[in-house]
Structures are given as structure tokens and as C-alpha cells.
Amino acid sequence: MINSDRIKEILTKKGADLCGIAPVARFKDAPSGFHPLDVFPDCKSVIVFASYFPLSTLQAKTNSPYTFIRNMMVDKLDKISFQLSIELEKEGVIAIPIPSSEPYDYWDYERQHGRGIISLKHAGFLAGLGILGKNTLLINDEYGTMIWLGANLVSIDLEPDLIATYQACVSKCTLCIDSCPQNALDGLTINQKACREKMFTYSEGGGLVLSCNICRKVCPHHAGLYK
Ligand code: SF4
Ligand code: SF4
């Protein structure tokens, strides 16, 4: 019998460090076109999970280690959502896997602004995995900002998790906003165009390097809220 506990057991075995479940009714404020029901009209629950992103990557003097681990995290979370789909289909449940990064459909060329088919960060918040910080990252009480997210949209009602109530941002903290070399953060949103100009460095020989992670690195919660 498939239920929330069984799903979390499967996810943990596949390598997730955090799992939460949000009923689709919690997504009433999702923007039109990016609601789980826009992706899957029979969606009843959204399963969100995350894996720990090694903190050591922030200590290197080059961002190549951060970049290759980020690429591995994308692959790892995508594999988990793929495997969860297979497991749930065996139980007669439809389980749409959501890409943990690309691909996605929406792209505004002028603003250099992309959007996932649903917002994983907001889904993570609604599933109890954390609170959005001023750096626009999801902050979890145990792992801080060092998590990477994945999700599946499923066709069954499941026992939901409580939305987190802890405080994410330290009172009056503006470290991420003040440290961003592109002034891309305003405390609520990110100017993706400005961020992308700094973030992506490409060379023909060396490939793509994610050249900035300052807003993650300066956050006192990069190692968790209570460490
Ligand atoms: S990654 Fe860098 S450029 Fe982008 S918002 Fe964070 S600090 Fe700013
Ligand atoms: S650096 Fe400060 S303001 Fe920015 S997300 Fe972290 S706690 Fe919040």
C-alpha cells in the first residue's frame, strides 16, 4: 500500500536527505501557467525532496568544484524523481517527474529570465522543506542553503507535511544583497539577467563554469540554521 511514509522510505533509499509533501490546494498563489495543475490536471499532491550539496565546494578558490558538483546534483535529483516515477507507476499512481533544473519551457529573451515548469523553491516551501531567504534560495533548518531540489506531481492524496515556521533570515541581515556584485537581489526577487552576466563563464576548452555563488557563500545559514 503506497502512502506518505512508504514514499519517503523510497526517496531516502534513493538518496534524498529531505522529503516533504504538499497538497495541491496549497498552490493557490502559483502564477498562471506554473501551477502544478497546469502541468498535470489530475495532480493531487506534490512530493518535494532534496539532497545535501557539499559545503566543501564553497571553500575552493576556483568554482570548478562547485560547478561539477552542481551538475552532479542535477543528475542525482533527476534520477531520484525518475526512479520515484517508476516505483509509483508500479502501484498505479501517475507521478510526473519535474526537472531539477533544465529543461523548461518559459524563456524571456529580453530579460534573460527563465522559469521552471513549476517553482521548486516555492514547492519546497509549501512541502515544509524550508523558508525562502532574501537570496531567493530555500533555507532548511538542518542544511541551510546547501540543498538541491527535485519533485514529482502525483495523482493521489497523501498525508501532507507542515509548512516550516522557523525564521530563515537573521534579523536585519542583508549580507547577500550587499555582497552581490551585480546588485541582482532586492530581498524578494532576483534579476536573472544581471546574475547571468556574472554567473556563466564559458571557454571552448574548459566548458561552462558557474562563476558566482557569493549569495550562497555569505549566508550565515549555508551550513544550517542551528550549527
Ligand atoms: S550568484 Fe552572484 S551575481 Fe547571482 S545573485 Fe548571487 S551573488 Fe549575485
Ligand atoms: S545572507 Fe542574510 S539576508 Fe541573505 S539569505 Fe542569508 S540570512 Fe537572509
For 149-176, write each residue's pLDDT tens digit. Answer: 999 999 999 999 999 999 989 889 999 9
Contact between 139 and 69 (Cβ < 8 Å): no
Sign of the dihedral through C-alpha 119, 19, 53, 15: negative
User: Is ligand 2 within 6 A of the CB of residue 214?
Assistant: no
Owning domain of residue 151: 1-227
Q: Which amino acid is at 205?
A: G
**pLDDT (tens digit, 0 to 9) for every residue of the chain, 227 residues total?**
899 999 999 999 999 999 999 999 999 999 999 999 999 999 999 999 999 999 999 999 999 999 999 999 999 999 999 999 999 999 999 999 999 999 999 999 999 999 999 999 999 999 999 999 999 999 999 999 999 999 999 999 999 999 999 998 988 999 999 999 999 999 999 999 999 999 999 888 889 999 999 999 999 988 776 55
> Looking at residue 171, what is its pLDDT?
86
Q: What confidence score (pLDDT) does residue 17 get?
A: 98
Provide CB contacts within 8 A for 77, sequence distance 6+.
49, 50, 51, 100, 148, 149, 150
Burial track 107-130 (b if 16+ CB lie within 10 A, e otherwise): eeeeeeeeebbbbbbbbbbbbbbb
The confidence score (pLDDT) of residue 3 equals 96
What pLDDT is recorded for position 1?
81
> What pLDDT was estimated at residue 226?
58
Quick: pLDDT tens for 194-227.
999 999 998 888 899 999 999 999 999 887 765 5
136 CA distance to ligand 1 middle (Å):
10
Pocket test for ligand 1, best of 67, 176, 180 (most atoms within 8 A of CB): 180
Residue 4 has which C-alpha cell? Answer: 506518505
- pTM score of the predicted model: 0.96
Q: Does residue 135 have its Cβ closer than 6 Å to ligand 2? A: yes
* Vertex 17 angle, CA 171 and 2, to 5°: 120
Structure letter (DSSP) for residue 73: H
Please state the domain count of the chain.
1
Nearest residue (by CA) to ligand 1, atom 4, is 195
Q: Which grid cell sits at 115?
A: 522559469
User: What is the per-residue pLDDT for 227?
Assistant: 57
Ligand nearest 218 Cα, by number? 2
C-alpha 108/C-alpha 83 separation (Å) is 32
Cα torsion angle, 190, 196, 198, 199, sign: positive
